[in-house]
Amino acid sequence: MDQNADVDFNVVMTDSGEFVEAQGTAEGEPFSKGALNAMMLLAEMGIEELIRLQRRALAEAGF
């Protein structure tokens, strides 16, 4: 479904909140700095949630 996106944006972070990768490409029209900031914030929030869920799953599994 990537072909339907306005922007292809990838973000990778460590569990300490540092960025490993941030890569974005407009798939049609250019995107604004405001849109970039919003995508970064959304990515950061999503990654933090994934880390919380992973830590909980590991704890429940005894790791």
Q: What are 3-59's pLDDT values in tens digits?
A: 678 999 999 999 999 999 999 999 989 999 999 999 999 999 999 999 999 999 999
List, as one string, the DSSP characters of 2-57.
GGG-SEEEEEEE-TTS-EEEEEEEESSS---HHHHHHHHHHHHHHHHHHHHHHHHH
In this predicted structure, what is the pLDDT of residue 10?
96
In this predicted structure, what is the pLDDT of residue 3?
65
In this predicted structure, what is the pLDDT of residue 5?
80
In this predicted structure, what is the pLDDT of residue 4?
74
In this predicted structure, what is the pLDDT of residue 1?
57
Identify residue 25 by its one-letter amino acid code: T
In this predicted structure, what is the pLDDT of residue 41?
97
Nearest to 22 by CA among 41, 4, 6, 3: 41
